[in-house]
Amino acid sequence: MKRIMMSAVALTAIMGSVSTVSAANGVNILDGVKVKGQIRPRFESVDDGNSATANAKAYTARTKLNVTGNLFGVDGLAASVGIISVNNFGSHEYNWKGTNYTDGTKPYAKVIDPQTAMISNAEINYVTGKTVVHAGRGQVNLDNQRFIGTVGWRQLERSYDSVFVANNSVKNLSVLAAWVYGLAGVGSSTTLDAKTALIHVAYKVSNALNITAYDYMVSANGRAVGLTNSGGVGADTYGVALTGKINMGAKLSYRAEYAMQKDATLKMQELPNNGNAANYKADANYMNLDVGANISGILAGVNYEFLSGSTGTDGKTNFIPLLGTNHKFNGWADKFFVGNLGPQGGLKDMNARIGYKAKGFGKFLAIYHQFTADKVMAAGTTTSDDLGTELDMVYANKIPGVNGLSGLIKYASYSKGKVNGYTSDVKKAWLGLDYKFSTK
C-alpha cells in the first residue's frame, strides 16, 4: 500500500511537468496531459448502539490521481487513467466488509472503508460535435445520484465499467444510453458483474422547469450489487422528475419525482447455486418531494421521500435504490443503507433542514428526520410503523492559506424506533480534510 501511494506521488511529480508523451516514431500518444488529484484524510467514530460490538474509530486517507490527455493527436479523442488508494495507517479499530477486527472480546462497529487500492479510471472518450462516446472505467453520477451514483462519501469511491453515448444536438435536450458491465469500489476493490442498461433523457423548458425521464434496468443477478433477496436482486426502475429554480428575491428550488420498480427486463443469471435470482419479482414505487430556499445565505427546506414496502404476504416488494449514492438520503447514520435492503415495510422520510452559507463563513446545515414504515412491521409482541428519528449536522469551509484545501465536521444521531431491527440508538461523527490539486 505504501508503495502504491508513493507511486502516486512520484507520478504526479513526473506527469505535472510533461505535456506530451511520444512513441519512438514521433507520433504523439498523449498530448496536453493534465493531472488531477485528491488527498482526503478522515477520522470516523461509530457507536452503533449494539452491546455485541465495540465502538469504532477509523483513521483513513483517500488518495486519488487521474491523468488525462489527447490521444494519438486525433481531435476529440482523449484517454484517462486513474487510481484510488485507501490507507488506514495500521488502524484496526473498525470493521469493514469481510473483516472482523475485535477489541479482544467483541468485533468493532462497521466503517465501510477497507484498506485497498484499485484502478478508478481506464477510459477512452471521443467527442464529435455534440455527441460523446465513452468506453471503459469511470465515474457515473446521474441527477441527484439517488439511483445511479459513485457513493463519493465513502473513501473507496465506486467506478463503473461501461460504454455509453450521450448527445445534446437538440437545444436543451440531452440523451444518454449506457451499458454497464461491471462496477467496483465502496466495500471492495473487486470488480462485480453488473449487466445494467441505463436510459436517461432530460429537457430544459426553462430555469423554472426541467423534465427528466429515465429507465435503469439492473439485471436479475445478485452479484451485480452484492445483495441477495429471494435469491437475487434485479429490477427496472423507471420514472420522471420535475425540477427547477425560481428567483423571487429568495432563491427557490424544487423537486417532484415519481418512480416505479418492476420485474427485471434483463434476466441474466450467472449464479449457478442461486436459481431464484432470475425469477426475483419487483413491484414497488417511489416518490420524492422537495422545496428549498436560499434567503441571503439562510438555507431552509422540507423534503418527503417515500419508498414503498410490503407486508410480506401481499405480493409486493420494498423499493430498493440498487446502484444509488445512499448516504446523502435518509440520514447520515446510514441506518437504512441499501446494503441491508432497507425495511421490508418500506420507508417514509419526512425531514426539514436549516442552515447558513456565505463566503468566508463556509456552510452549516442541520437536518431533522422522522422515519415511519409504509406498512406496519413486527415490534416485539405487537406491530408498529415507528422507525425512529435522526438529527444530522455538518459544517464545511475552505481553509485559508492553502488553495484547494477544505475541512469538514459532521455528526449524525439516530434515535431508535419501535420496529424490530431499529431499536438501538446510533451516533456517528466525522472530522476530515480534503485537498484537491491539478495541473493547468
In a domain, 402, yes or no: no
pLDDT tens string 146-178: 999 999 999 999 999 999 999 999 999 999 999
DSSP one-letter code for 243: E
Q: Closest Cα to residue 194, out of 167, 145, 158, 141?
A: 158
Q: How many Cβ atoms sit within 10 Å of the Cβ of residue 409?
A: 14
In a domain, 146, yes or no: yes
Above 80 in pLDDT, residue 361? yes
Q: What is the pLDDT of residue 19?
A: 59
Least reliable range by pLDDT among 1-5, 306-310, 325-329, 347-351: 1-5
Q: Please give the Cα distance from 363 to 61 (Å, whole number).
A: 23
The C-alpha cell at 372 is 415511519
In a domain, 271, yes or no: yes
Q: What is the pLDDT of residue 167?
A: 97
In a domain, 194, yes or no: yes
Q: Please give the Cα distance from 161 to 187 (Å, whole number).
A: 17
Environment class of residue 51 by beta-carbon count within 10 Å: exposed (0-12), middle (13-18) or buried (19+)?
exposed
Q: Please give the Cα distance from 21 to 29 (Å, whole number).
A: 6
In the chain, how many domains are there? 1
The number of CA neighbours under 13 Å toward the Cβ of 28 is 17
Mean pLDDT, range 371-380, rounded to an integer: 95
Q: State the residue range of the domain holding 278.
A: 129-286
In a domain, 30, yes or no: no
Least reliable range by pLDDT among 1-5, 89-93, 331-335: 1-5
Q: Please give the Cα distance from 256 to 337 (Å, whole number).
A: 23
In a domain, 317, yes or no: no
In a domain, 431, yes or no: no
In a domain, 261, yes or no: yes
Q: How many Cβ atoms sit within 10 Å of the Cβ of residue 337?
A: 15
Contact in structure between 290 and 143 (CB atoms under 8 Å): no
Contact in structure between 389 and 371 (CB atoms under 8 Å): yes
Average pLDDT, the chain: 88
Residue indicated by cell numbers 500500500: 1
Q: Please give the Cα distance from 17 to 399 (Å, whole number).
A: 27
CATH assignment at residue 254: 2.40.160.10
Above 50 in pLDDT, residue 7? no
pLDDT tens string 46-102: 999 999 999 999 999 999 999 999 988 889 999 999 999 999 998 889 998 767 789
